[in-house]
Amino acid sequence: MAFTFAAFCYILALILTAVLIFFVIFHIIAFDELKTDYKNPIDQCNSLNPLVIPEYGIHMLFTVLFLFAAQFGTVIFNLPLMVYHIRRYLNRPVMSGLGLYDPTSIMNADELGRAQKEGWVKLGFYLISFFYYLYSMIYVLVSS
Amino acid sequence: MADGNHPPPLFPSSNLMQSESQNQPQFYSPSSNNNMTTTQSAQVKPPALSPNGPFSPYQPGSTDGNHITLGGPSVPPNTVNGLNTSSQQQMRPSLMASGFPPPPGSNNFNQPPMSNIPIRPGGPYPPHPNFTPLAGPQMNGPGNVASRPPFPTPPLGSQTPGFQGPTPPYGNRTPLQPGGAMRPPPPSLSGPGQAPPTMGFQAMSGDTAQSRPNELPVPFHGQGQYSHQVNPHMQKTPTPTPSNSEPPSERSSRGPSPVSGSTMDALEGQFSPGHGSASPALQGNRASPVQSLTPGTPPKMSGGYSSTMQNQQFPPRPGLPPSHPWPGSQQQQTQYQSQPRPPTSQGFPPLPSQATGFPSSQPRFPPHPASSTSSGFPPHPNPQVFPPPPSTSNTAAAFSPPQMPGMPRFQPPPPVAGFPLPPLSSGPLPPTFGASPNTTYAGSPPPLAGAPLQNVPGYSPNVTSDGTMPPQYGNMPPASQGGYPHPQFVQPSFQQPGVGYPNNVNAMTQNFGQMGIQQDAPRAVNLLTERQLIPADGLETSRPVLPHDFKKVNCSPDIFRCTLNAIPQNSALLNKARLPLGILIHPFRDLSQLPVIQSSVIVRCRACRTYINPFVVFTDQRRWKCNLCFRVNDLPDEFSFDPVSKTYGDPQRRPEVKSATIEFIAPSEYMLRPPQPAVYLFLLDVSFNAVKTGYLTQFCQILIEEIDKLPGDNRKTIGFLCYDKALYYFNLAAGLSQAQMLCVPDLEDPFLPCPDNLLVNLKESKELLIDLLNKLPSLFEGNYETGSALGAALQSAHKLMSPTGGRITVMQTCLPTVGPGALENRDASSSAGKNVTIIGPATDFYKKLSLDCSAQQIAVDLFMLNAQYADIATLACISKFSAGCVNYYPSYHSVKNLGMVDKFDTDFRRYLTRKIGFESVMRIRCTRGLSIHTFHGNFFVRSTDLLSLPNINPDAGFGMQMSIEDNLQESSTVSFQAALLYTSSKGERRIRVHTLCVPVTNQLSEVFACADQLAVASLLSKMAVDRSLNSAISDARDAMMNASLDALSAYAQQIPASQRVGALLAPHSLRLMPMFMLAMLKSVAFALAGNPKVDDRVFAMQQFKVMPLCYLIQNLYPHLYPLLKLNEEKVIKHGDEEIPSAPLLQLSSANIDRTGLFLMDTGDAMYLLVGSSVGDQICQDVFNKPNFMSIPDGIMDLPELENQTSENIRSFINYLMDSRPNGVVFLVVRDDSKNRHLFFQHMLEDRSENSMSYYEFLQFLQGKAKP
């Protein structure tokens, strides 16, 4: 039993995933509010956009750490989402600030639906990751 | 009044005063007319005011309350009622007279909401005062307010005086005075009302109608009186008002203050929390109010609503004319019912006048005959058809006014008699009472009455169908109307003949209908063999075929239409049909007839806030079932009061239930702030490039000429800001001897050089303005500065305008290159293949600024006059999200491009003078199970069904894609309702509601049979633009081809295989879909061949998004006429003229011969092709040249020659030009000219170097379809 770099990565990932779960829940709620008329899309985009880069950054951070820790299984597990994030960001609407969401197009039913679906899928993914990291952390701690 | 609620008015009320009318200069007169006509008094209703009424909060119980509410909130309305006839006049006039700004109305409104605040509200707001007066005079308005518990009575009293004052002022009223007589009745009413008041109230509330009969007056007093009053009002408005008004207010006392409880409805949609309890309170209030009211206060208001018709540009219908004047009271009512547009308002002369007036101002509006039925038509004979007014009485009778039927509804009238006022009114009124409603009616209104009464009889019959129809069809030709309605409805949608030719069309349609269209199932058309797809007299307009019990009028297809006139029951069926489902709206279209209602009670569904409309179901006399959410709502008592007949009874007589397009004058709950004044700011590019084009001279000249016609009231405000590399402000303070120019070179941090006087009151500074406009061209004559700091100028303009909102007009001639928002020339670096990337914006600077503007209720309209690339794709964002408009005059040059100069001249004049609505929002509601998927147009989407439109103009069209989320089994029809809440240029808050009802089907064949190919093509073009922007033009092209392919394949699936062999089948209703798709593929927006200029392409795309359907279709598939075949026997009636018509040709060279003259009308341009073998006689007759060779190429005008051929051709062309809002570039093209391509590029069915012919396209589709 030893506290290896991999174990550290898992612990860190565990904590950060919890943070991501909060982000995603916020995201889901925000879009739900948009859909039900409670919020102005401009305000909503202003509150959502600043969270996009941190979310992507956090996810990328521990994915890269896993790479350094030679946890290739975990890296592969995270790779599709990372690729998706990069693609998504590259195809964002023309905007001067950071972020993905444009108040003028966000109300389109397709965009809303996609964002909502994305939120739920990510929530599921992060929940699974959370328990996977928990398991892996213990496994690494115990096995090493 | 409202003050409590409202913040202090932004603007000095003084300006407001004028309110009267003028929002739309053009319309002005019409509007007035409108008012008159519409005004009806809902008075009767009084008994149970609909609690809900206007304010959701209210409950029905409060009859008085209703009145009150009415009076209070909608004082104007009341006035209307009272005024009704005079309605608008009174209302507005009064306002005007009083000098009050339009806001008053608003104030009144406010008050109601404010309830607590005394009517005075006016006090706080300058305008208010006016209002109050108005209200007072008008009626109950104020009175109502007062009556309301919340309001202190005193105010009322005060108001009264005010009212009186106002009334007199209303010189206009003179006519009213007669009305004055009328008024008396109101008082009388009130009198009765008062005495019995309490009793009455109670009775009312409890029993509603019957118990009252005798007492009616009392119980109703509110309403009854109102009604009486209302009628009287119309006439009397002014005089009676004073006394009456106050009392009413009290009575009405929105006491219920239901309003108070309610939340604002400023966004038009919301709920107000406090509905529920209102009724009880109301009742109580009422009683008290009533009492307080005392005789004097007639509940005029209560009825509350007066409807006025607005004629906007169009001439009123025949029927209307009568109404216009006083007779008005009755007339109005009549009008009401009939809706016939009272073409003219009271003030106005009878229709004729209007008509005439209108035409001149905006002849153009009317779309083409073909394109839209709309405008062109003369007023209907509606009156006849609808005998609206009379109807009231009759109707009442006819409709079993369940409750009141026998009732002495009129009783109220008696009270009237009792009242002091009676003198005048009483005379008339009494009769009413005594006699059957009808008669009475007639009696009182005599002037008008005569006609109305007659109508009446008809009316009842008309009832549904006829009555309804007229309004909508205002456009339709008069002739048709009579019989029209029914046939149309009945008929299958597709068969409807073209709009343009009413009579013939009707006849044709009828025939079609009889042919059993429906049964036959849609006729299948083999596109490969059927070459003649377009009837010579234009395309038919499809309309939804509604079940018999909705004989009612559906919304005019020119305003509102659905791509599928039979909605699939579920999304699976929709997917099978492979057709897009969506709606197209032209919400602010200029209408010839529009019922305007001023009522204290705007009846809306408690759950979804839908406005009551012709398609709701009345489950019993007191309840209605919402057709959108299916909730059963209580009906306010007042709603069953028919102002015309002054009786309670069938709510179906109400204009709200008889017309699918209606306008309400909104109470204060619909305001977030006092209505803004009209504020116009012009941003003028004065860089070297701009000066070189010479547009400044023309701009200034036109503005000087039209400056008085800018819509607005006394508060009208204007300013100028010029820019090149620096910003030049103009201090136009009224006291200055000449305008001061202030130069601000700092672009990074633009500041306003002086705090005020950059935007100045137009009236006060008019001389300075004219002086400035005269000097402006020379001021910058030698400017060699090439930079253009548009971004900084817009930022400054935003700063300047943000306190008020308004309209910014930008004249831009080149790419903005300096300061914030500077752009690079993307065109130079891109090759043809990269067009895709440059049709999107380069930066979001303009988009963000646009959203900031939108938040401050500022719209930016863009006039692009550039010859070089100016990145319209990016600049257009400033208009796109602020609900502005974009106009593009490529290569504008005041000397070198005279065609553009003409077009700019026409467009800009129209732009300056057209109607405008400020700080508006539009909410689209649809039946449960449907949802809006995507919006198309210029606006900002604030929530899933709410569009934020800082400005709304009559040329803006919108499209919405819909999706079916649930099975639509709950009802056999679905409805769409578009509610546009806006501030008119007169400072009135108004709500224009359009409701479209479409049947649901579970048969695929029916979906196809009832598809509307024009709407489908229009919606597909909007979708294609989105696809181009999000993906690529080539994707959009594929999607277009697939769209027609999928639809045809899906249709073929249900045809027996034996019929399919070797044929490309299309339902008759969609036979032109491949043609339109091909036209889109060849259009500038989507063509890959020819490599059009990027700006042209982007502008064409932008136009697809915003153009109303009829213009869009014409743009897509231009009209081609053989000018030598003008038929003098088949004439188009245009005003007083009879214009020979030409058959419409398909765009194939096969239809062109060398010996003819052909006119290609694309909407923006007209090309007259002269065949090379044209006869010498024709050359002489038309061009005054001996032969073809001597006709100069490229002439832009036809000589005025005195011979039949020339006159026919010129009158036909002028007619076409007048029938559209925009200007046209006219060009004569010789068959051998180098400009020949201008004409022939529109021959869509021909093969060109880079594109398929129509036949090839069909073969292509057939080949694709086989597998």
Range 89-108 of A in CB contact (< 8 A) with B:
93-96, 102-104, 107-108
For B125-134, what is each residue's pLDDT tens digit?
Answer: 333 333 333 3
In residues, how long is chain B? 1267
Q: How confident is the model at residue B829 (pLDDT cuts 50, 70, 90)?
A: low
The one-letter amino acid at B237: T
Cross-chain Cβ contact A110/B851 below 8 Å = no
* Residues forming beta bridges with residue B598, ordered by sequence position: B306
Q: Based on the number of CB atoms within 10 Å of its own CB, is B780 exposed (0-12), middle (13-18) or buried (19 or more)? A: buried
Cross-chain Cβ contact A40/B943 below 8 Å = yes
Tokens of B481: 């109307």
- The four Cα atoms B368, B374, B375, B381 give a dihedral, to 10 degrees, of 130
Residues in chain B with CB shorter than 8 Å from the CB of A102 are 844, 847
For tokens 């049947």, the residue is B999
Q: Does B881 touch chain A (CB under 8 A)?
A: yes
Per the prediction, chain B carries an average pLDDT of: 65
**Rg (chain A; Cα; Å):** 17
The whole-number pLDDT of residue B209 equals 32
Cross-chain Cβ contact A108/B855 below 8 Å = no
State the average pLDDT over residues B1250-1254. Answer: 86
The distance of A122 to chain B (nearest Cα, Å) reads: 24
Q: Does B799 touch chain A (CB under 8 A)?
A: no
ipTM given for this complex: 0.91
Write the DSSP assignment of B655-723 as a string of letters: HHHH-SEEEEE--GGG-SSSPPPPEEEEEEE-SHHHHHHTHHHHHHHHHHHHGGGSS--TT-EEEEEEE
Q: How confident is the model at residue B1222 (pLDDT cuts 50, 70, 90)?
A: confident
Q: How confident is the model at residue B872 (pLDDT cuts 50, 70, 90)?
A: very high
Among A33, A94, A98, A114, most B C-beta atoms within 10 A, so best to mutate, is A94
Q: How confident is the model at residue B363 (pLDDT cuts 50, 70, 90)?
A: very low
CA distance B505 to A134: 76
Cross-chain Cβ contact B943/A37 below 8 Å = yes
The whole-number pLDDT of residue B644 equals 64
For tokens 């965009």, the residue is A111
Residues in chain B with CB shorter than 8 Å from the CB of A42 are 851, 855
Tokens of B766: 């008019």
CA distance B94 to B138: 8
Q: At B997, is the secondary structure helix, strand, or coil?
A: strand
Residues in chain B with CB shorter than 8 Å from the CB of A103 are 851, 940
State the average pLDDT over residues B273-292. Answer: 33
> Per-residue pLDDT for B1016 more than 90?
yes
Which among A37, A94, A107 has CB closest to B844? Answer: A94
In sequence order, what are the residues at sequence separation of 6 or more whose Cβ sits closer than 8 angstroms to the Cβ of residue B1221?
B362, B364, B365, B590, B910, B914, B954, B955
Angle at B221 between CA B289 and CA B272, to 5 degrees: 60
Tokens of B474: 């205002």
* H or E element in which residue B800 lies: helix B790-801
Residues in chain B with CB shorter than 8 Å from the CB of A94 are 840-844
Cross-chain Cβ contact B932/A104 below 8 Å = no
Which among B843, B932, B944 has CB closest to A96? Answer: B843
Write the DSSP assignment of A35-88 as a string of letters: HTT-S-HHHHHHHHHHHHHHHHHHHHHHHHHHHHTT-HHHHHHHHHHHHHHHHH
Residues in chain A with CB shorter than 8 Å from the CB of B946 are 37
State the average pLDDT over residues A126-134. Answer: 95
Q: How confident is the model at residue B564 (pLDDT cuts 50, 70, 90)?
A: very high
For B1098-1123, what is each residue's pLDDT tens digit?
Answer: 999 999 999 999 899 999 999 999 98
Tokens of B252: 């009405």
Write the DSSP assignment of B49-83 as a string of letters: --SSSSSTT--TT-HHHHHHHHHTTTHHHHIIIII
The distance of B843 to chain A (nearest Cα, Å) reads: 6
The distance of A61 to chain B (nearest Cα, Å) reads: 30
Question: B1122 — phi, psi (to 5°)?
Answer: -85, 110
CA distance B989 to B53: 17
Range 949-968 of B in CB contact (< 8 A) with A:
963
Q: How confident is the model at residue B654 (pLDDT cuts 50, 70, 90)?
A: confident
* Residues forming beta bridges with residue B1027, ordered by sequence position: none
Q: How confident is the model at residue B1155 (pLDDT cuts 50, 70, 90)?
A: confident
The whole-number pLDDT of residue B551 equals 59
Cross-chain Cβ contact B941/A96 below 8 Å = no
Q: How confident is the model at residue B25 (pLDDT cuts 50, 70, 90)?
A: very low
> Per-residue pLDDT for A130 more than 70?
yes
For B1171-1219, what is each residue's pLDDT tens digit?
Answer: 888 888 888 888 888 888 888 887 888 888 888 888 888 888 988 888 8
The one-letter amino acid at B366: P
Question: B109 — phi, psi (to 5°)?
Answer: -55, -50
Q: Is the CB of residue B210 less than 8 Å from the CB of residue B424?
A: no
Q: How confident is the model at residue B1267 (pLDDT cuts 50, 70, 90)?
A: low
**Rg (chain B; Cα; Å):** 29
CA distance B43 to B49: 9
Angle, in degrees to the nearest 10, between helices B278-293 and B140-147: 110
The distance of A91 to chain B (nearest Cα, Å) reads: 10
Strand order in the sheet with B632-634: B617-620, B623-625, B632-634
Tokens of B1175: 């006869």
> Per-residue pLDDT for B457 more than 60?
no
For B598-624, what is each residue's pLDDT tens digit?
Answer: 887 788 999 899 999 888 888 887 889
Closest by CA position to B179, among listed B218, B237, B120: B237
**Percent of chain B scoring above 90 in pLDDT:** 25
Q: Does A40 touch chain B (CB under 8 A)?
A: yes
For B174-194, what is each residue's pLDDT tens digit?
Answer: 333 333 333 333 333 333 333
Q: Is the CB of residue B196 less than 8 Å from the CB of residue B219?
A: yes
Cross-chain Cβ contact B840/A94 below 8 Å = yes
